[in-house]
A and B are shown apart, each in its own frame.
Chain A
């Protein structure tokens, strides 16, 4: 998965399409600011997945769709 760009695979399964992208920026006034770029994707397997790139800490994470 590329930083900033849309994910190309999730858990080694290729992404067929990106259904939606959104951003969350919150808690910027605390010690744990949140800055995430979310993607709602359809995998090649036909399954949906929501993944996000954590722009504060780095790294990609999956979340229940």
Chain B
């Protein structure tokens, strides 16, 4: 007896399905199914992933969904044809058009758009036939006997027999057939406990608290056809219908989607001609004054590219990007306002491999002349292109926000949407959600979450084993279940979220290709697929990314122009400023784009970039690809040798690699070099090399990689390359994978890195101000940016209600911290306060402020605590007292819309003599309320109480390599890169500067809670210096918290200090 499962949920039913589509596919194939349907709740989120996975395993994927109707009942819909799929997408879009996250479909829509769909009457618990037989009867009439079936399920719960008898009777009465389905929610019985936990999470309760909502047994796993036949001995026909139907449902989502990106065929000329015109017009402007040689080469390149684009049928694709850029120009003009000094700046910048294209340069997609910069088109466009190229556009955040809405308006809500992303379970979320479901103590869970790895939930078991009471915990079945379930929930999608900026645009209504639903942010809408599914669907995705540094650079330019009257055109600043390169070479790069991290700084001291080309390599160097491909040390070492001996010739693994790897001294640093190496050493075609790159990238398929490996070895052998060399080079390529920048991307980032360095060098206060206003971004918390700027002579002033705006602003050559930096105040109240002062009189005192500023009491208290009211001339405690006495207007009337003004009475109570804040209290209040402190550094306050052996960071330049050393500092950043074999890098800061700590794995294991959470540390270890690089290899760590508490007269210190930034795992 055959059987095909036609009702199956994956984890894309969001907290009502415990297995990924791939897991279901593999299990179904093993159980001998010829086909399988995926019917997630109210969506097709995982359908394309499922369809591709199924194909790989020789299983036929049937696309479907279980949709929730207005009355809360469910029906299962299966796609029979492309029309059916378009209808399904429209129906799901309609279902999501009401209240967000509560999809409901009016049955009339389903009746209207039934063509090409098959309807099953729904599950045992919520099925339409169970809940509303009359409704089922209506649908049976609309869909007809061939396309409507009454669904029989047997979850082995009490009442199955009676319900199924009633359903058989209903089917007979309606003249339709019954069909058996399994309503699987897990690929295997071992995953069913997780399904129980997911139900508890979904209902925001514990397992004990959701008994009525759980299934009550472990029967919801995917069963084999034989097991299903045994479960339904008397329903042979209803079993057989599944096979019959599965054969009929031939729609293949991987082949029949029918997407077409805008091809501009409605224009006066063909798209090829239109693109040519756009490019030629820009060409004349850009190259009018170019040297003849460059102009000729550029002209040749343009002809070649246009011909290739025409051949690939991509003219419409580039025209669309050009159109979006034109739209961005209009949005930028609007956002920046008339006469803004930012008008000289382009609205955005291209990144990624598009920077290598002259068509992109001429259409405004990139701002790097690829001919002058000698950038290859390589990966971006070639004749063997299998999918549309990637174009990423970076915008300042304010322009991006408006542009997303403008794109939606221009192309229409039916034709454009944002790309989705799925928030998946990582360790902290898993610990909290699974632990809460199991009813484990919240305090214990928080303790574990704080010391956990942060990323991989599969490692929670290891983390538990390291707990002092880990073994004892595992005696309890709850904790044992917790350990197993955290590992199982790892990587499962939890909910739908928004991709940082990807948008899809379509000629055919997008609502017929993928369902669309409202995003959390009002006015935005999301499609139900993530970037991988959108790419698999061949959708044209435009990435409109918000880049904090672009916002900062724009704001900085605006400050300079408006406050200093100097005009700055960033595209014309000198690119060889020695002062700028001196700072970069000395790794004085805090706050700069891309080259500020600890690892970058260490590398800069050895590579010592001298020009933009060097910076381009530098930006690409400290990335997982080159690190894993073992390219970093050879490059750095060869660069040093070349500096010492200009005649030095770097070694190449094979003479054929001299050309592709010349610029990077024999190391693979840029992504396209992977392609170039495969072409040069193993004779790959461009398309083959691109295939290799794809195989290495997002879904690393071992089988595919092995096939490329064999092909690589064979190709190399045919060119007389020894097997040993071929294996060596392949291992480097394999290590590099796709985790590196294309050169063109690195060039775009290097330019921005230089521009940020140039602005910081010449206008340090303006740059700091803009950087503080663009937070959060970058490697350092604001406190460190401020300390660094102060060390380079920038005066930073505390927030002041009489002088500050909502944002940070420039006062002469100083930076005034903005009121919005005060925690607990909020940006809008801060702006309202500044407006009240600027439009009226200055505040006469705390009482006047309390009465005039539209700020609640906690906000006013935060203002006082931060020192923003110090200019009223009273100590902060006295100000707080006076604030408590200040009468305020109150809301009156039925709806509270009217205000009763305060009586202007003077307080009758004397202000008592309150003690002034100590320097400690003041410093902690600064950090607590604004995250930054411009006064004393905590370590300078602690210094007199530290052991004599403690060395200040300023003494390190004269300290001897290999000596024992003790240092103390406030933790600024912690890093546990996946590429560093468990080593943790920490950056601590004292009153003079920063110190690098290297924490080896055994030391990390001993002092884990200190490494992960302690803000003030004392570190003992061995001092290492290699040329300019200075590190402390830690042997022992101690917290300074008890000492700080003692010195600060028992004030709690740790909670007030700023949080360090964490990178990678922890």
Contact = CB atoms under 8 A, between A and B. Distances in A.
Interface in A10-26: 19-26
Contacts of A29: 193, 207, 438-439, 477-478, 481
B160 A22 contact: yes
B217 A24 contact: yes
A26 B477 contact: no
A26 B216 CA distance: 6
A24 B267 CA distance: 66
B218 interface: yes
26 contacts: A19-B161, A20-B161, A22-B156, A22-B157, A22-B158, A22-B217, A23-B156, A23-B157, A23-B216, A23-B217, A23-B219, A24-B217, A25-B216, A25-B217, A26-B214, A26-B216, A28-B193, A28-B196, A28-B477, A29-B438, A29-B439, A29-B477, A29-B478, A29-B481, A30-B477, A40-B158
Contacts of A25: 216-218
Contacts of B478: 29-30
Given A24-B217, A26-B214, A29-B438, 11 more contacts: A20-B158, A22-B157, A23-B217, A23-B218, A25-B216, A26-B211, A28-B193, A29-B439, A29-B481, A31-B477, A38-B158
Contacts of A26: 211, 214, 216-217
A25 B844 CA distance: 71
A25 B156 CA distance: 11
Nearest to B219: A23
Nearest to A20: B161
Contacts of B214: 26
Contacts of A19: 161
A39 B80 CA distance: 40
A28 B481 contact: yes
Contacts of B196: 28
Nearest to B214: A26
* A contact patch SS: strand
Query: Considering residues B160, B217, B218, which has the most beta carbons from chain A within 10 angstroms of its beta carbon?
Result: B217
B591 to A, nearest CB: 50
Contact of B156 (A21, A28, A30): A21
Sorting the interface of chain B by its residue count into under 10, 10 to 19, 20 to 34 or 35 or more gives 10 to 19
* Range for the number of chain A residues in contact with chain B: 10 to 19
A31 to B, nearest CB: 6
Contacts of A30: 477-478
Contacts, number: 42
Contacts of B156: 21-23
Q: 5 smallest A-B Cβ distances: which pairs?
A: A23-B217, A25-B217, A20-B161, A23-B156, A22-B158
Contacts of B439: 29
A20 B160 contact: yes
Nearest to B215: A25
Interface string B432-460: 00000011000000000000000000000
B292 to A, nearest CB: 79
Nearest to A50: B158
Interface string A17-56: 0011111111011110100001010000000000000000
Contacts of B157: 22-23
**Most chain A C-beta atoms within 10 Å of own C-beta, residue among B207, B214, B438, B439:** B207
Q: Give the most central of B156, B218, B219, B439: most A CB within 10 Å.
A: B156
B196 to A, nearest CB: 8
A19 B196 CA distance: 28
B31 to A, nearest CB: 20
A58 B156 CA distance: 20
A37 B885 CA distance: 71
Contacts of A38: 158
B220 to A, nearest CB: 11
A19 B214 CA distance: 24
A24 B161 contact: no
B207 to A, nearest CB: 6
B387 to A, nearest CB: 46
Nearest to B479: A29
A65 to B, nearest CB: 11
Contacts of B219: 23
A29 B211 CA distance: 13
A30 B480 CA distance: 10
Interface in B198-224: 207, 211, 214, 216-219
Nearest to A28: B193
Given A29-B477, A30-B477, A31-B477, A24 B216 contact: yes
Nearest to B211: A26
Interface in B155-169: 156-158, 160-161
A59 to B, nearest CB: 19
A22 to B, nearest CB: 5
A38 B481 CA distance: 26
Interface string B468-502: 00000000011001000000000000000000000
A64 to B, nearest CB: 13
Interface string B871-905: 00000000000000000000000000000000000
B156 to A, nearest CB: 5
Nearest to B218: A25
B590 to A, nearest CB: 49
Interface string B156-185: 111011000000000000000000000000
A21 B218 CA distance: 14
A22 B157 CA distance: 5
Contacts of B438: 29
Contacts of B481: 28-29
B198 to A, nearest CB: 14
B161 to A, nearest CB: 4
Contacts of B193: 28-29
A31 B216 CA distance: 18
A31 B477 CA distance: 6
Nearest to A36: B217
Contacts of A31: 477
Contacts of B216: 23-26
